[in-house]
Chains A and B, each alone.
Chain A
Amino acid sequence: MRSGTALAIETTGLVKRFGSNTAVDGVDLAVPTGGVYGVLGPNGAGKTTTIRMLATLLPIDGGSARVLGHDVTKEAETVRGKVSLTGQFASLDEDLTGTENLMLLGRLYGYSRAAARSRCDQLLEAFGLQEAGGRQVKTYSGGMRRRIDIAASIIVTPELIFLDEPTTGLDPRSRNQVWEIVRALVAGGTTVLLTTQYLDEADQLADRIAVIDHGKVIAEGTTGQLKASVGSGALHVRVAEPSRRADAAVTLERTLGVPVSLESDPAALTARIDDPQRVARALATLDDENIAVTTFALGQPSLDEVFLALTGHGAENAETTAATGTFEGTAS
């Protein structure tokens, strides 16, 4: 990995309480410099609170946090000079036009009026917003809003940018645009810390992921590591005749050596497998026994499965519960 490189973010036992509610309950993070670090979790998991503490917006109640080598409490001003935050909700003044917003921020970053104007024009053009520049931000579509939010965050190129759920509520096309922008930021050398509820987003963008639930990091690693932790994959089989499904289940259990579950589709069955090598033999055995198979698929577990396995949210069957047990042994 990137061992040896300076850490962009380092927290130990980070805590934030709101009254009796502990929103962030001892979070340890080690975010390497460069690339995208994903913080994945459901609503209310403590993602936004964590980001707000790291961006010096909220005082921390316990533990410590260093951002780009600076303590967020003692050197808050230095941290603010190096990072940029794009909040979850409108982080611009909705009553002002796009141009006015960027001009205001440009002036606040210390640009002269003329320099702010030219920087503003460059940004509007790069983000495809020249025509919308003169309109009030409240008239923007969701995608335009996210783009101008991000444009506002790079008026002065930050070393680290926090993106809090940047694609929540966007249509697929706008989401792809935001993803492209995130990749461009990384290519330009900025470290991105991104929170998301979407597993495919973390899967697509992030180099490493921390899964947060109830204010705690419940898993951390590369996407590959996280997936591997719930077993190497699953075999989905659909038989031609539903009447032969029970026979197929017996055969598969015998040849694969793992339990097989029956799906609600009367012809489908699924086996969570440890050893993909046995799959070919298992399928051949079905053929030997004259059990016709219409489709079969071998998949890595989706990040969705990983997430459900780790958090237990919505997890109803025994398999995911078992997976939780398996994983906790290896989680930090």
Chain B
Amino acid sequence: MTDTITTSAQAVGNVLQMPGPRPPRPNALSTSMSFGWRALLKIKHVPEQLFDVTMFPVMFTLMFTFLFGGALAGSTDAYVQFLIPGILVQTVVMITMYTGLTLNKDIEKGVFDRFRSLPIWRPSPLVGALFGDIVRYTIASVIVLILGLILGFRPAGGVVGVVLSVLLLLLFSFSLSWVWTMFAMLMRTEQAVMGVSMFILFPLTFASNIFVDPSTMPGWLQAFVEVNPISHLVTTLRALCEGSFEFGQMSGVLIWCAGFIVVFGPLTMRLYNRKT
């Protein structure tokens, strides 16, 4: 017994003499990517966390296509062309909510103390987590699109239009996620984060042009749909999928993305730095 202990003490002494000089400080992208790698490892070890990104897309796409298709567009075939870009947005945007939930739970763990005591770019644990989530959003997008194609979705914009749509959606989701990261820092429990997220996401996704043409809505609701960033995003995605893309629409979406990051990024970081 004494022998093993002595050996280990010597070995510990030896590893303290580091081989070579101290490595240079890594840049912000490198540390964020390392945290993204952590997120992927967590998916590998806890694959159950992919449940939401596989089941939500299937449920939403099938449910809304068959629920509203006949009534709103005369047939599900006709409705699918209109709905798929919208349901793609609905699905992925709903899933961004889990970013906040996961972070709220994660940050309570002791490992965040270690991350925060490292000499690295401060936002990298959060940015890395969002990078990992982009993988989840991509999985969800692919599932919706495959299901859409099976249901008869035939985008005139072709592969390029669809790929650009997904990329824009990923950018939007990354930006919107900073709202949830802020709530993840602000709220004490997961349930509270969930509640607030739902309260924001339901009106944002339903009071939009995802499911219906807003022209039949009362004026005040139309006004909301007009300014709703989700509507801007859906309109742009529909145009990209149809091959009739307008830069004006897209710049509106990009401004919203920048807005989310510029406002909620620093707020999140402020709360993160003061988190006890």
Binding site for B on A (CB under 8 A): 18, 52, 55-59, 77, 80-81, 83-85, 87-96, 100, 104-105, 107-112, 115, 118-119, 122-123, 125-128, 136, 152, 154, 156-157, 173, 176-177, 180-181, 183-185, 187-190
Contacts and interface: CB of A to CB of B under 8 A. Distances in A.
Interface of B: 1, 4-6, 8-20, 22-26, 30-31, 34, 37-38, 41-42, 45-46, 109-111, 113-120, 273-274, 276
A96 B42 contact: yes
Contacts of B38: 93, 96, 104
Contacts of A107: 26, 30-31, 34, 37
A189 B8 CA distance: 17
A88 B9 CA distance: 22
Contact of A91 (B6, B110, B273): B110
B98 to A, nearest CB: 16
Contacts of B276: 18, 58
Q: Which of B11, B34, B37, B119 has the most CB of A within 10 A?
A: B119
Contact of A59 (B16, B120, B274): B274
Nearest to B124: A108
Given A18-B276, A110-B26, A122-B15, A104 B34 contact: yes
Given A107-B34, A108-B34, A156 B114 contact: no
A94 B42 CA distance: 10
Q: Which of A108, A157, A180, A181 has the most CB of B within 10 A?
A: A108
A125 B12 CA distance: 9
Contact of B113 (A57, A108, A112, A122): A57
19 contacts: A55-B117, A57-B117, A84-B117, A85-B114, A89-B109, A91-B110, A91-B113, A93-B42, A107-B34, A110-B25, A122-B15, A122-B19, A123-B15, A127-B8, A136-B45, A177-B8, A183-B9, A184-B9, A188-B17
A104 B276 CA distance: 24
B42 A87 contact: no
Nearest to A183: B9
Contacts of A109: 23, 26, 118
Contacts of A157: 16-18
7 A-B pairs with least C-beta separation: A110-B23, A188-B16, A126-B11, A81-B119, A184-B12, A80-B119, A89-B110
B271 to A, nearest CB: 12
Consensus secondary structure, chain B interface = helix
A290 to B, nearest CB: 48
Given A18-B276, A115-B23, A181-B9, A154 B15 contact: yes
A187 B113 CA distance: 27
Q: Which of B19, B24, B45 has the most CB of A within 10 A?
A: B45
Nearest to B25: A110
Nearest to B1: A173
Contact of A184 (B16, B37, B46, B115): B16
B22 A156 contact: yes
B110 A90 contact: yes
Contacts of A93: 38, 42, 109, 111
Nearest to B111: A93
B14 to A, nearest CB: 7
Nearest to B11: A126
Contact of B117 (A56, A104, A127): A56
B33 to A, nearest CB: 9
B166 to A, nearest CB: 28
A111 B14 contact: no
A47 B252 CA distance: 51
Q: Which of B6, B15, B18 has the most CB of A within 10 A?
A: B15
Contacts of A95: 41-42, 45-46
B4 A80 contact: no
A118 B23 CA distance: 14
A188 B113 contact: no
Contacts of A176: 5
B107 to A, nearest CB: 12
Given A184-B13, A188-B17, A110 B24 contact: yes
Contacts of A85: 113-114, 117
A73 B92 CA distance: 40
A188 B12 CA distance: 9
Given A96-B41, A176-B5, A180-B8, A154 B114 contact: no
